[in-house]
Structure 1
Amino acid sequence: MKKLLPLVAITLLLLPTACSSQSSPVSVKPGQYRAVLKTRGGELPFGLDIQPNPNDPKTYTVFALNGNERLPMDAATIQGDSLRIPMSLFESELVAKIDGNLLRGVWRRRRIAQSSQTLPFEAQHGLTYRFTPNGKPASADLTGKWATDFGSKTSKVDTVNAVGVFNQKGNRLSGTFLTPTGDYRYLDGNVVGDSLFLSCFDGSHVYLFKAKHDPATKTLTGGLWAGIAGYESWVAHFDPKAELPDPAKLTYLKPGSKTLNFSFPETNGKNVSLSDPRFKNKVTIVQIMGSWCPNCMDETNFMSPWYKKNKQRGVEIVGLSFERSPEMAVSGPKIDRMKQRFQIDYPVVLAGTNDKAQASKALPDLNAVVAFPTTLFIDKKGQVRHIHTGFSGPGTGKYYDQYVEEFNRLVDKLLAE
């Protein structure tokens, strides 16, 4: 993903007060909620679907709703008078006091030791709209492709570092931004009059987009609020031909290198290398990733079932996970949680930290690691044949379909050799 301004607000954990004794058990009203995080850019809305777990009456099944995505959270529990919705993969959670149809509390994400970043959180049962109720008039139709420059404050775009792809029905707007290193996942929102409003919350990404449309110049000018305190201005021009740089040309082998040399440990301590017998005479896919990275999780959600279906054809996958800590005691459990959640059958190793400069040093055969994820395709002789930077996830629609088609075509070609 495109790196945003650093998050600077660090606060100590403050949870809603839970009563130690109550006359009757507290429960959550099941159904859909309109949830909001209160950010510096204003309210950032998203949907929550909360249902009692039929197999465990003490827990709730929760999905975050963004556009067409129903993203499962971890099992939610009642603690005193509050509901706790964990997202352990991203070290974040929603904790809110239950008050009839309302939930009031905080979203927090652990950053350093026991300190956390927090934003106020509220959710109201029975509301399904995003920014404004459906049926409100929109004076612009923003469907199509938009050449976008993040970081620009002027109406003139000199460089294009993203492509917005939007679909509008009435005043409802959905889509995402494609960038050379990934996408902004599922964005959902509204067009209100001549203004765009889009948002996403998935436990890690916290995005709020606003922009004003100028019909005379077919230009969108606005801002992006990300996380606790990140902000960027952005400008976009309507351009049906807008394209990004070739993702196969951003990361490449250094002159003289033909393969990827590495030896990193799995969480059980066993080192994995491409010279291991399991990879001999196999087409091998190397996934440069991290458990903290939602785009990597989108790719893993594709890779894991694909591997189960295709491994008997002579294909292997290995994940090189670059985590926030190089210590196995810290990062090993995160890798194991990721493997469990996505039912990963192929090895995933701890390769180092998620600093791109450090990741590049860990893989000296590459010119640079410029994005998480990055995917390498290695032939039966052990030679790197293709490197794809970034990943166009399912939130990108046809671009995801094109990626899957190209992925399968390339693997089929290498298997046939």
Structure 2
Amino acid sequence: MKSLSFALLAATLLAGCNSSTTSNSGEASAVSAAALLTPGPWRGELATQGQKIPFLFEVKTEASQPVVYLINKGLNGEERLRCEEISAAGDSVTIRMHVFDAALVVRADGKDKLQGTWVKYDSKMPYRVPLVATAGSETDTVKSIYKRMPLVGFTGNWRTTFRDDTGSSYEAVGVFAEKQRANPPVHPDQNLTGTFLTTTGDYRYLSGYSGEKSLSLSTFDGSHAFLFTGKKQPDGTIKGNFYSGKSGHETWTATLDPKAKLPDADTLTYLRKGESRLNFKFPSIVAGASISPTDPKYKGKVVVLQILGSWCPNCMDETNYLAPWYEQNKARGVEIIGLGYERSPDYQQAASRLLNMKKRFNIGYDLAVAGVSNKDSVAKSLPQLAKFLGFPTTIFLDKKGVVRSIRTGFSGPGTGQYYEEEKAHFNRTIDKLLKE
């Protein structure tokens, strides 16, 4: 009966999206595709670079509407990213990826099975990766990994180096937590969670499997698809590969180190010598308005500048924290300004993406269109900065408008204890500035 409700809804959506008259055969094909979006758990696989990146999602019916939740498990529980923009046309169903400018476009492939593509629209050419999904069953990748027994301990902090195909490298900290399973497993469940922290943010919720001397961790949030594979060496180190989306590839090596840590995030981005303030005036996402830190609204208040992009998952994590925090604390004399750097240089498109983000996270603070999503754009629009590393970056202004602290990156909820430390640091900084 639930499958039938999806069929009827899809037909309605199709009628609403198509101004022309649809033939009976066209309606039937649309209904057939939507009917296979069976409510309940699903497992998908993205096929890229000769690898399979598994992901989980759940189909639900809410207020007679179909809703898809992307599910990512991590060190600190799981996240469920709600995707309610679902439409049908012909024999295909399009599931928009919540705040991101991306979608899953799928069609029927037998009973309770879908095939299609993950499409990213925020690039010069649509970015497409093939996918398959099966209702309530394990993927081939999961089955093959489960044959790897017994477990080898990966729990702990790992000092990590990533290196791309050109030889360029960067440091990270891998944080893994492994749980013991029955051998053979009684129930097919992921037994390894973790993430990698870098100077510009973390790789968010990662989960997967370990066995023998190997591990596999992955995530899919609608904007990014990551797969980390690794194998423990005789000397105890891990050597592995990192696959990102359609073509990104890096290798990584890691050494167990309980004291592994990154450079102080408050020292990586800084002002040019002799500078103490940021002078800008950017167009607001509200047409015809502009935003500047010298506006009367911000006078005498502590102001937080959030350099972000709607395309950036770490920015999503920070926004998910800042939006409710602002509502609870704005009466204390604190304001936040979101400076959006979007994929498109067109104001209307950029403002539209930021407005969508504002609605999604119920953002009550001001958002501006500051530029396009690259470091050079930030450097040009904020010339007082001597160095800019990445998104997000958070800048704290005191009550006189003086820059007092600049923090690079954001450790989100997928990092466990590091997320708690991130929030504590933010509140300490605000409390100190408010007391002055």
Give your verdict on TM over 0.5. Answer: yes
Cα distance in structure 2, aligned partners of 1:250 and 1:74: 38
What SS class does the counterpart of residue 322 from structure 2 fall into? helix
8 Å CA contact 2:30–2:89 kept in 1: the answer is no
Q: Hey, what does 2:270 align to over in structure 1?
A: 252
Post-superposition shift, 1:127?
Answer: 2.4
Q: Hey, what does 2:280 align to over in structure 1?
A: 262
1:402 aligns with 2:421: yes
Post-superposition shift, 1:178?
Answer: 0.2
| 1:242 paired residue among 238, 260, 268 | 260
Q: Which moved more, 1:313-322 or 1:122-131?
A: 122-131
1:187 aligns with 2:182: no
1:210 aligns with 2:229: yes
8 Å CA contact 1:200–1:206 kept in 2: the answer is yes
Cα distance in structure 2, aligned partners of 1:150 and 1:125: 35
Cα distance in structure 1, aligned partners of 2:348 and 2:177: 45
Cα distance in structure 1, aligned partners of 2:25 and 2:129: 22
1:317 aligns with 2:301: no
Q: Hey, what does 2:249 align to over in structure 1?
A: 231
8 Å CA contact 1:288–1:375 kept in 2: the answer is yes
8 Å CA contact 2:30–2:92 kept in 1: the answer is no
8 Å CA contact 1:104–1:122 kept in 2: the answer is yes
What SS class does the counterpart of residue 130 from structure 2 fall into? strand
Cα distance in structure 1, aligned partners of 2:30 and 2:252: 51
Q: Hey, what does 1:162 align to over in structure 2?
A: 172
Post-superposition shift, 1:316?
Answer: 0.3
CA deviation string 1:342-399 (max 9, x = no partner)? 1111111011111101211111111122110000111111111111000000000100
Counterpart code for 1:258:
S
8 Å CA contact 2:85–2:98 kept in 1: the answer is no
Equivalent residue pairs, number: 392
Q: Hey, what does 2:69 align to over in structure 1?
A: 63
Counterpart code for 1:292:
W
1:44 aligns with 2:50: no
What SS class does the counterpart of residue 66 from structure 2 fall into? strand
Cα distance in structure 1, aligned partners of 2:337 and 2:138: 41
Cα distance in structure 1, aligned partners of 2:111 and 2:71: 21
Q: Hey, what does 1:221 align to over in structure 2?
A: 239
8 Å CA contact 1:83–1:95 kept in 2: the answer is yes
What SS class does the counterpart of residue 271 from structure 2 fall into? coil
Post-superposition shift, 1:88?
Answer: 5.7
Q: CA 1:24–1:406 in 2, change beyond 3 Å: closer, same or farther?
A: closer
8 Å CA contact 1:147–1:160 kept in 2: the answer is no
What SS class does the counterpart of residue 376 from structure 2 fall into? helix
1:74 aligns with 2:84: yes
Q: Which moved more, 1:348-357 or 1:25-34?
A: 25-34
8 Å CA contact 1:47–1:128 kept in 2: the answer is no
The runs of at least 4 aligned residues of structure 1 exceeding 4 Å deviation read 133-136
Cα distance in structure 1, aligned partners of 2:164 and 2:372: 31
How is 1:282-293 mapped onto 2 (pairs within 5 angstroms)? 282-293=301-312
8 Å CA contact 1:152–1:235 kept in 2: the answer is no
Counterpart code for 1:109:
K
Cα distance in structure 1, aligned partners of 2:98 and 2:327: 25
Post-superposition shift, 1:97?
Answer: 1.2
TM-score (norm 1): 0.89
CA deviation string 1:301-341 (max 9, x = no partner)? 00000000000111000011111222212211111101111
Q: Which moved more, 1:305-314 or 1:39-48?
A: 39-48
What SS class does the counterpart of residue 247 from structure 1 fall into? coil
Cα distance in structure 2, aligned partners of 1:152 and 1:82: 37
RMSD across aligned positions (CA): 2.2
Q: Hey, what does 2:324 align to over in structure 1?
A: 305
Higher helix fraction: Structure 1 or Structure 2?
A: 2
Post-superposition shift, 1:24?
Answer: 9.4
Counterpart code for 2:155:
T
8 Å CA contact 1:32–1:128 kept in 2: the answer is no
Cα distance in structure 2, aligned partners of 1:353 and 1:364: 15
Q: CA 1:253–1:32 in 2, change beyond 3 Å: closer, same or farther?
A: same
